[in-house]
Structure 1
Amino acid sequence: MTVRGEDALTANLTGGLARLARAHDGAGPVTVLKDTRVTVVRAGDVVVKAHPPGTDEAALTARLRTAARLPGVLLAPLAEWIEQVEGRLVTVWPAGEPVDPDDPDGAPWEAAAGLLARLHAVPVDGLGLPPAGGPARLARAVAQLDGLSTTAAEVIREAFRSLPPEAADTGPGAGRLTHGDWHLGQLVRHQGEWLLIDVDDLGAGTPAWDLARPGAWFATGFLAPDLWLRFLTAYLLAGGTAVPQGDPWRELDVPARALTVQLAATAVAAARTEDRPLDDVEEALVSSCGRIISTALPQ
């Protein structure tokens, strides 16, 4: 059978990534860990990542260099140079043990909070980094709903329009190093220590965005209050400066609203692609967007 079109492109890409992993001493079976906007392949102790089409090479180079210079905080790449496979920019990393997504109680909340506090303490001057990717991710998620005329899509768009201007600000960051897309999936244990991974959105930004996803899950009822308190308390005890001690929601409110809109938009777009109805969690995210609209402050 002849493989054509997108199937052939995918096969060529994953095959090229597998060969690159082998060239970096990746032994054992090849596994495709992810194949969405990014493609991630693992062979033994080596992980190779093809970044999204259109990725800025200079920005990725600066992000890769920063990861290599922050041992104990960010997982360091196996190579500080960028490869190319099938026209995609590719980076090479050591494999790590991910967090178990089915055991939130056992997740390393305290370790994650400490890593973020240390990351946020790093000035971005001299690193040559672009703005952190949080606001741009929000805009991309909402853009996925273009042409969709369902009630859920309109509620999400209205919630997006209700956000203050800073929620969509992709201009120069606020002078602190920010992950840009932090959640528990961006954490691995490597050689006995937990480290942050995925530098695609690393940059100068507002650190509260890195706390916004767990904050949004807590606000919508999907993250237990005790887990949120564990995470927030550990962050503050580690010297984290993204939020004040007395009133964290003064800084978290806008980013948490923005992340709720982003998560809802991504969920609705996925349901459309998969031609299925929204599940209970996705319906709840859309409902949260309705509450964002009703409580929006005048701009």
Structure 2
Amino acid sequence: MTSAAVPLLAGLTAKARAAAHARSSACPCGATTLADRPDGLVVRHADTVAKAHAPGTEPAELAGRLSVAARHPDILLPPLGRAPATLHGRLVTFWPYGAPVDPDDPDAAPWEAAATLLARLHRTPAPPGLPCMRGPAKAARAVTRLREAGPHPAAAPVLRAWATLPPWARAEAPMPHAGTLCHGDLHLGQLVRRPVDGPWLLIDVDDLGTGVPAWDLARPAAWYACGLLPPEEWTRFLAAYREAGGPAVPAEGDPWPALDVAARALTAQTAARAVAKAAAAGRPLDEVEQSVVDACDRMATVPPQLAQEHAK
């Protein structure tokens, strides 16, 4: 954490403590920092979590996303209030604490729950005025950071793969048929249980909005294509999504024409972040990072499949 962020952490901790004691007199010792990234600082105190959102977050857009979470507590963890606070120029929201997925127990990963929640989210009508899902914009920023990171031998295949994508996947044009309510940044870290033995819920509404639903399936699809997700886990995820009536892929047959573009974009985004970090640290890529760069190298030689509705 930079010295400039220390006052933000102290203030956020104080706000989390105040919000927690407004709901309960119980007070476990101290506070815990759950995340410390440029796009979000997250602090837990007792049963309350406070999040400072990324600088420049639009208040109206965040309020709209919070409203969606509040209206659908069986899909998304509902916030504690719908109006963000302000702290050191950052918008702050409050949430009940939920137990996350255990990263040390991959066999217990809730792939079926994640897929079912996504399908239910995708079938939920999006309210008027909700902003676009931010997935493609985040991918484009990762590629921009790669270009700004300086020369690295692994950058070229990533940029070649990125260049094969249609403009909407590079955030250079509107997403086609983008009226579906989407999470925008789905991975297993975006699920919690509340209570700890209760049902899984989705968290993190920062990227929530309307868009192409295939984007929400793209990260596990990309991991599967890169050999990072076992085929049986991908099959469980896809089968559960279809069983729950998810609209991102056809109910039967080959799902890949619907997923290929988004999966390629997420692969390029992951590789761009990895290469940029390696370049900044002056280190070689590790095995996982190299696998996504190798996937980009392969992608650059084969045009992406385009689903019928995406090709219009």
Normalised TM-score (structure 2): 0.90
Is 1:295 the equivalent of 2:299?
Answer: no
Q: 2:174 aligns with which of 171, 176, 180?
A: 171
Displacement, 1:163? Answer: 1.1
Equivalent position SS for 1:50: strand
* Amino acid in structure 1 at the alignment position of 2:191: L
Distance 1:165 1:33, change over 3 A: same
Displacement, 1:298? Answer: 10
| Post-superposition CA distance 1:96-118 (Å, at most 9, x none) | 11011232221111111110010
Displacement, 1:297? Answer: 5.0
What percent of counterpart residues are identical?
54
Is 1:285 the equivalent of 2:292?
Answer: yes
Is 1:14 the equivalent of 2:2?
Answer: no
| Post-superposition CA distance 1:42-64 (Å, at most 9, x none) | 11111111111111111111001
CA distance in 1, matches of 2:84, 2:281: 33
Distance 1:298 1:208, change over 3 A: closer
CA distance in 1, matches of 2:167, 2:219: 19
CA distance in 1, matches of 2:228, 2:104: 13
User: Match of 1:139?
Assistant: 140
User: Match of 1:189?
Assistant: 193
User: Match of 2:158?
Assistant: 156
| Post-superposition CA distance 1:205-238 (Å, at most 9, x none) | 0111000000000000000000000010011001
CA distance in 2, matches of 1:254, 1:118: 23
Equivalent position SS for 1:240: coil
Q: How does 1:248-259 map to 2 (within 5 A)?
A: 248-259=255-266
Q: 1:221 aligns with which of 207, 224, 227?
A: 227
Alpha-carbon contact 2:168-2:174 (below 8 Å) kept: no
CA distance in 2, matches of 1:175, 1:268: 33
Task: Please identify runs of 4+ aligned residues in structure 1 that moved more than 4 A.
Answer: none
Comparing 17-26 with 180-189, greater Cα deviation is found at 17-26
| Post-superposition CA distance 1:103-157 (Å, at most 9, x none) | 222111111111001000012142x211001110110110111232212112211
CA distance in 2, matches of 1:276, 1:47: 35
| Post-superposition CA distance 1:23-48 (Å, at most 9, x none) | 11253321111111211111111111
Displacement, 1:248? Answer: 0.8
Is 1:24 the equivalent of 2:27?
Answer: no
User: Match of 2:24?
Assistant: none
Equivalent position SS for 1:39: strand
* Amino acid in structure 2 at the alignment position of 1:182: L
CA distance in 2, matches of 1:273, 1:279: 14
Structure 1 regions of 5+ residues with no counterpart? 1-5
Normalised TM-score (structure 1): 0.94
Distance 1:262 1:7, change over 3 A: closer
Alpha-carbon contact 2:257-2:305 (below 8 Å) kept: no
Equivalent position SS for 1:93: strand
Is 1:199 the equivalent of 2:205?
Answer: yes
Instruction: Work out the number of aligned pairs and report it.
Output: 293
Distance 1:298 1:116, change over 3 A: closer
Q: 1:274 aligns with which of 269, 281, 284?
A: 281
User: Match of 1:130?
Assistant: 131
* Amino acid in structure 2 at the alignment position of 1:234: A
Distance 1:119 1:298, change over 3 A: closer
CA distance in 2, matches of 1:270, 1:119: 33
| Post-superposition CA distance 1:48-99 (Å, at most 9, x none) | 1111111111111100111100011000001211011111111111111101
CA distance in 1, matches of 2:282, 2:35: 21
Distance 1:227 1:161, change over 3 A: same
* Amino acid in structure 1 at the alignment position of 2:58: D
Structure 2 regions of 5+ residues with no counterpart? 22-26, 307-312
CA distance in 2, matches of 1:7, 1:230: 42
